[in-house]
Each structure stands twice: as C-alpha cells, then as structure tokens.
C-alpha cells in the first residue's frame, strides 16, 4: 500500500532514459563529396544504429527514477503486533499424561511425536516442555537447548490425574503473558471429550498464541470399567460385610462381564454383571474373608478391552473387634444408656460396644482406650478423670456431651468453655414443645437424620455458642447441636438430655442414624470412606502448632514426605492411584486407597468442530477484545532514500566516464 499513490504517475518518466539511449543515438553527420553521379539511390536503414548503448548507465537511470517515484509515494505495510514482537518465538511442547493416555499406547505415541517435533526446533527459537493433566507441570524452563527439552520429554511417564483442558488454557495464558514474544503451543493428547470445561470461553487463548493439537487417538474405543465401590471402611464381622460395585460401559454394546472381589491378593468372590449398551450394572458381595487389621481389597472386571488400567477399583478395609464406647451417666438416668445402646446395636455394621459408668466409677479410667466418650447430663466428674478426658480430646479424641438440667445447674458445659444461659421448659411458655427447625446439611451427624421430623423437645438449655459451629437450631433460634474443636479433637454438645423425658427423640426413627453417624464422626471411623480420588488431600494433623512425627509411604513403598515435612505438614496430596500407608507417632496405622477419576474411562473424543474452534480461539479472542486485530505499520522510506543516494552517485560517476570518452 502507498500513502500517496498518485505519485506513481511519475513512472511514465521511465521512458526518458530509454529515449536518450535509443532514439537519440541515430545521428547523420554530413560529408562533402565532389559528385554523386556514381552512387546508386536506395533507402538507408537505421536499425543498426538504434541499438542500446551504455546498458549499465541506462539501468541506473531507470532505477533512479523508480526510487524517486516510490520515495514520494511512501509505500508501507501492516503486520500483527504479536508477530512483529521479534523474529524468535516460544514453542511449548505440552504432553498429556492424564489417566486416559494409558490406553492402547497413546502416551508412547504422544511422547514420540513431541520428541520428533522438538528435535527440529529452529536455533533462534526458545522451547519449553510441560506435562499436563489436572494441573500443569513445568519440565523445563524456556531454553534454546533442544537436547534438554528432548531429555525431559523422553523421561516423562504417564500419570493418574484427570485431563482438564481448561487448566491447560489457563496456564498457557499465564506463560504467554510472561513470554514477551509469539507463543506456539503443540499439545499432544487424546482429545478426550470429558476433559472439556463447562464453558468454552475457558479455553480462550490470548493475543500472539497459536495452538496445534496433535491427536494421538484416531477413534473412541469401547471400554468397560469398575466405576465405583461402596464398602465399609471398618468391619467387625466380615461374614456380614456388604460390598456394592458399579460396572460401567462406554461406547459398548450390551454384554455380560465377570466381576471378582479380591482381598489381599486372593479372589474371595465372583459375580456376573449384565451391562446394557453404554450403561451400568451393579453387583453385590455379601460375606468374605478378611484379616484383622488393614486389608487391601479391589473389585475387578474382565473387560477384554484396550484399557486395562481401569479394570480394578481399589479400597481399604480395617477389620477390628467392636470398639468400646464409654457412657457416663447419672445413676438416676438409666434410660439414656438404654436408648443409646439400642441405637448403636441397631446400626448396619455394629462397630461399637457400650460401657456404662456413673461418675463415682470413672476414677482411674483411661479415656484413651475408648472410641469416644459420652457425658449424659453429668453434673460433675472426678478431677483426675476430667483432666484425663481433656487431654484425650486435645490429642484427637471425641466426646458427646448431653447438656440437661445438671449442666444448667453448673452454668457451663463440661470439657468446653461454653456458658449455659438458662434451662428452658416449653410447657412454661405459650408453646407446648420446641422443634428442630434448621440444620447444617454438611455435618455428618445430621446428614442422614431426615431433619428430625416430628421430634418434640420439652426441655433444653440455652447455650452461648461463641465461635463454635452450630449444627442444628430449635425454632426459637437457640442452638440444639454445637460442635467445638478442642486441640485436634472435637466435642459435640447436645443441648437436651438423651432420655425420653426431656424430649421424645430416643423413640423416633431419626435417633438411630443420628447416633450411628455421630459415633463415626467422633471416632473418625468413616471420615474418608473406603477410597479417595487421585489429587485429593489426606489430612495429617489439625493442630498446626503441634509437631508430631509420622511416616507416609506412597504406592511404591517410598516416603511421600521428607523428614522435615513429616513433622510439620498438615496434609499430603494423593497424586497416584494405589495404597498410601500412614504410620503415626502413637502407633496408629492407616491405609488409604486411591483411584483415578472414572470420567477418564470415557474415551470418547471431542468433535472436530470443537477442536477446530479451540485451535482458532486465539484469533477469535483478539477480534472479540478490540473489534480489530492490533496492527503495526512498517515503511521502507529510509531504505529507499539510501538507495536513491547510492544510485545517484553511481550514475554520476558512470555518466562522466562515458561523456568524457565521447568528447575526446
């Protein structure tokens, strides 16, 4: 393009040098001769005389006129600001190492293609290798040494995380912002559809970024998998244990699959599952053999497909004798122990036995040997026992305190600093009874309690909760259930009694699930379940200021934490599928089973249109941001001026030489 295109009309001046060098050369100098009578009359041709002379000089004069015309016309061109940032660019080699890449040699193909492309990197470009799954891992910095990039790619191994393309796009946006040059991203992936975010806008790429997706999978193969397992984390009698498994099929026809239950490497049960096309089927195992202590278990399916890694779902179970629960009550309140015992024994998997004592019987009793402790409207307990109970709770134990009339008389809740304001009787006011009106649905004690429908409270104490967690409230807005954290332990305060005099809760259907879930919560029995997902976190300690030694072994039997981390870390990331073994300072051991996200088992690929839109999202993002692409104008004006000057000097020197020769 030209700033002043009308100056191009000066190009007609190119004919002037041609006229000077061609037409003006034919000159006839007259010669004097005595007589022309002996000459024959004929037409003389001037073709020979019209040949071009001084061709180099002609070329210089033509170039001189051309440069002069272009200099006045001011040519220019536009380029994207991003492409004009520099000659070199940053090339990112992103290798997908998510769980689905384990299928049918996909990861090996991705690694080979990435290494082949990195081997041909231009010398003036910078390269960077990254691994992508549920997060982005930088394998190298942005370097020009392609051997370093090749070594990082070749050392990469597949992982167990979930492929999240939105996370990839977010990381690329951050890297492009810091690069200061054009960015070219090569993503080697199976283009799994389940990895797409809910909103396509999360895949948008910024200005200056181009994306090339290298799909290493050509189809969406069939796949059967063990999608989930529902099993108790702790069992007292494995012969009564119940394990349910769900078998799912993706891109499959209706088929029958053999499902096995394996405990400690030994098959203890087998069932046939009839899985519908692209559907799910459930199988159930009742009764099996298990050792005392922790057991490594898994459910396997005979899938006969190309993705073997998801054919098993691991889980851990601890077999233990029923754990004792200490129930301290007033000698006159035998009903509370009776109802609580009946509720514990009615649970589907009876894990506890109740030991009832009165305050004068607890002297010398060590709370640490119990799963948790219940104080049922106890006015006072011996000082040494109360101190031992406080120490037990601070160390991670649990206690349930039923605050009835005795607690109201002392104006405080045992084991806590909570203050009792008053003891309220519903019959003394206008209402005949109080009812539970609000619950915290996230708390395990009330999650399965059906909101305590129909329960009537005739007497309750009003407690000032302070900064404690209120789990349930009565219809007069006073707290009914409060959780108080004490050290690493927890105290659950019930602001009424556990008998059927202060309320009719013990004779309602919601009482049994409340007692069962509260027992699990206080003893931390079902806190995590039989299995955890990859990339979740395992809590190691609650008290940040209390250092205690522990050891965490990963699925390979190696330490997952350094010695310093083992004394200070509050949690550990479960980054791989398999079993993590946690060994604590007090001798307690815990086996945590970890499985990959089963959304990775759906190998369906994203559509070609979706893939094309993502690869072109960089341009769409720029257009949407400003309406037009950002342009930068470039003009060769200085180069034209320099060329004109040099051409004039050369033409002057050459013309002087030729003219001088003619004059001589």
Averaged pLDDT for residues 325-342:
90
Q: What is the pLDDT of residue 623?
A: 40
Place 574 in a pLDDT band, splitting at 50, 70 and 90: very high
Place 87 in a pLDDT band, splitting at 50, 70 and 90: low
Point out the least confidently predicted range of 49-53, 91-95, 577-581: 49-53
pLDDT tens across 350-393, in order?
789 999 999 999 988 999 999 999 999 887 888 899 899 999 99
Q: Does domain 323-523 have CATH number 3.40.50.880?
A: yes
Q: Let me know the angle formed at the C-alpha of 67 by 66 and 71, rounded to the nearest 5 degrees.
A: 120
Q: Note whether 505 and 460 are within 8 A (CB).
A: no
Q: Which residue's structure tokens are 């059927």?
A: 500
Q: Note whether 248 and 222 are within 8 A (CB).
A: no
- Residue 305's CB is within 10 A of a number of other CB atoms, namely 22
d(CA 462, CA 479): 7
d(CA 66, CA 416): 96
pLDDT exceeds cutoff 80 at 185: yes
Averaged pLDDT for residues 80-98:
76
Transcribe 295-327 into DSSP letters. EEEEEEE---SS--GGGEEEEEEEE-PPEEEEE
pLDDT exceeds cutoff 80 at 430: no
Q: What is the pLDDT of residue 581?
A: 95
Could you tell me the pTM of the whole model? 0.69
Averaged pLDDT for residues 334-360:
88
Place 654 in a pLDDT band, splitting at 50, 70 and 90: confident
* Burial of 543 from C-beta contacts in 10 A (0-12 / 13-18 / 19+): middle
Place 63 in a pLDDT band, splitting at 50, 70 and 90: confident
CB within 8 Å of 259: residues ≥ 6 apart: 226, 245, 247, 270, 271, 272, 273, 283, 299, 300, 301, 302
Place 631 in a pLDDT band, splitting at 50, 70 and 90: low
Angle of helix 608-615 relative to helix 617-626, nearest 10 degrees, comes to: 50
Q: Which residue's structure tokens are 């003006």?
A: 24
Compute, in degrees rounded to 10, the torsion defined by CA atoms 559, 562, 564, 570. -70
d(CA 557, CA 576): 12
CATH topology classification for 223-319? Immunoglobulin-like (2.60.40)
| Strand arrangement of the beta sheet that strand 223-230 belongs to | 223-230, 242-250, 280-286
Q: Where are the beta strands (DSSP E) in 489-629?
A: 489-494, 532-533, 536-539, 550-553, 571-574, 578-584, 589-595
Radius of gyration of the chain from its Cα atoms, rounded to whole angstroms = 43
Q: Could you tell me which residues are beta bridge partners of residue 186? A: 93, 212
Q: Could you tell me which residues are beta bridge partners of residue 137? A: 131
d(CA 488, CA 392): 10
Taking phi over 0 as left and psi of -120 to 50 as alpha, with beta for the rest, 137 belongs to beta
Point out the least confidently predicted range of 495-499, 507-511, 646-650: 646-650
Q: Note whether 289 and 253 are within 8 A (CB).
A: no
Q: What is the pLDDT of residue 49?
A: 47
Place 564 in a pLDDT band, splitting at 50, 70 and 90: confident
When the pLDDT of each residue in the chain is averaged and rounded to a whole number, the result is: 85
pLDDT exceeds cutoff 60 at 663: no
Is the fold of 90-219+610-626 the same as that of 223-319? no
pLDDT exceeds cutoff 60 at 624: no
Place 47 in a pLDDT band, splitting at 50, 70 and 90: very low
- Residue 298's CB is within 10 A of a number of other CB atoms, namely 23
Q: Does domain 90-219+610-626 have CATH number 3.20.20.10?
A: no
Which residue ranges make up each domain of the chain?
5-76+636-663, 90-219+610-626, 223-319, 323-523, 534-595
Give the 3-state secondary structure of residue 283. Answer: strand
């Amino acid at each position: 393009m030209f700033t002043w295109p009308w100056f191009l009309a000066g190009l007609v001046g190119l004919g002037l040098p041609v006229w000077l060098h061609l037409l003006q050369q034919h000159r006839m100098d007259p010669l004097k001769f005595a007589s022309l009578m002996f000459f024959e009359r004929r037409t003389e041709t001037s073709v020979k005389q019209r040949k071009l002379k001084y061709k180099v000089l002609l070329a210089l004069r033509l170039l001189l006129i051309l440069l002069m015309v272009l200099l006045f016309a001011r040519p220019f061109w536009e380029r994207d600001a991003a492409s004009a940032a520099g000659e070199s660019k940053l090339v990112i080699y992103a290798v997908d190492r998510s769980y689905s890449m384990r299928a049918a040699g996909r990861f090996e193909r991705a690694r080979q293609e990435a290494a082949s492309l990195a081997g041909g990197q231009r010398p003036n470009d910078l390269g960077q290798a990254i691994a992508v799954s549920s997060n982005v891992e930088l394998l190298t910095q942005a370097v020009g040494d392609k051997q370093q990039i090749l070594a990082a790619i070749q050392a990469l191994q597949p992982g167990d995380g979930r492929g999240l393309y939105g996370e990839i796009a977010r990381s690329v946006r951050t890297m492009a912002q810091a690069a200061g040059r054009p960015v070219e991203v090569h993503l080697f992936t199976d283009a799994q559809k389940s990895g797409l975010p809910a909103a396509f806008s999360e895949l948008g790429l910024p200005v200056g970024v181009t994306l090339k997706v290298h799909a290493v999978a050509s189809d969406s193969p069939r796949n059967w998998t063990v999608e989930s397992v529902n099993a108790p984390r702790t069992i007292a009698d494995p012969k009564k244990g119940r394990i349910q498994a769900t078998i799912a099929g993706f891109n499959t026809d209706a088929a029958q699959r053999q499902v096995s239950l394996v405990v400690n490497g030994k098959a203890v049960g087998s069932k046939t599952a009839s899985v519908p096309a692209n559907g799910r089927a459930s199988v159930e195992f009742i009764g099996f053999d298990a050792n005392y202590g922790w057991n490594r278990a898994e459910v396997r399916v005979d899938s006969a497909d190309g993705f073997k890694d998801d054919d098993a779902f691991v889980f851990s179970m601890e077999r233990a004798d029923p754990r004792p629960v200490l129930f301290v009550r007033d000698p006159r309140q035998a009903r509370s122990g009776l109802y609580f015992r009946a509720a514990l024994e009615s649970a589907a998997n009876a894990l506890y036995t109740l030991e009832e004592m009165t305050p004068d019987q607890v002297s010398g009793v060590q709370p640490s040997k119990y799963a948790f402790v219940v104080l049922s409207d106890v006015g006072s307990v011996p000082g040494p026992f109360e101190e031992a109970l406080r120490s037990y709770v601070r160390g991670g134990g649990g206690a349930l305190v039923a605050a009835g009339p005795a607690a109201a008389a002392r104006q405080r809740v045992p084991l806590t600093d909570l203050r009792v304001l008053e003891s309220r009787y519903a019959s003394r006011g206008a209402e005949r009874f109080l009812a539970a009106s609000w619950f915290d649905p996230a708390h395990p004690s009330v999650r399965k309690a059906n909101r305590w429908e129909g329960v009537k409270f005739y007497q309750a104490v009003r407690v000032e909760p302070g900064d404690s967690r209120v789990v349930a409230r009565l219809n007069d807005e006073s707290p009914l259930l409060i959780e108080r954290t004490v050290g690493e332990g927890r105290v659950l305060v019930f602001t009424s009694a556990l008998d059927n005099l202060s309320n009719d809760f013990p004779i309602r259907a919601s009482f049994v699930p409340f007692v069962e879930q509260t027992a699990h919560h206080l003893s931390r029995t079902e806190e995590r379940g039989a299995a955890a997902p990859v990339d979740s976190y395992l809590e190691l300690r609650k008290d940040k200021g209390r250092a205690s030694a522990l050891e965490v072994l990963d699925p390979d039997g190696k330490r997952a934490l350094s010695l310093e981390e083992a004394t200070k870390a509050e949690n550990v990331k479960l980054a791989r599928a398999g079993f993590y073994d946690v060994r604590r300072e007090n001798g307690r051991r815990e086996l945590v089973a970890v499985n990959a996200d089963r959304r990775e088992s759906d190998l369906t690929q994203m559509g070609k249109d979706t893939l094309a839109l993502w690869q072109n999202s960089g341009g769409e993002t720029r257009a949407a941001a400003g309406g037009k692409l950002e342009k930068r104008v470039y003009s060769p004006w200085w180069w034209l001026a320099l060329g004109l000057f040099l051409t004039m000097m050369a033409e002057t020197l050459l013309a002087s030489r030729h003219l001088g020769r003619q004059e001589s």
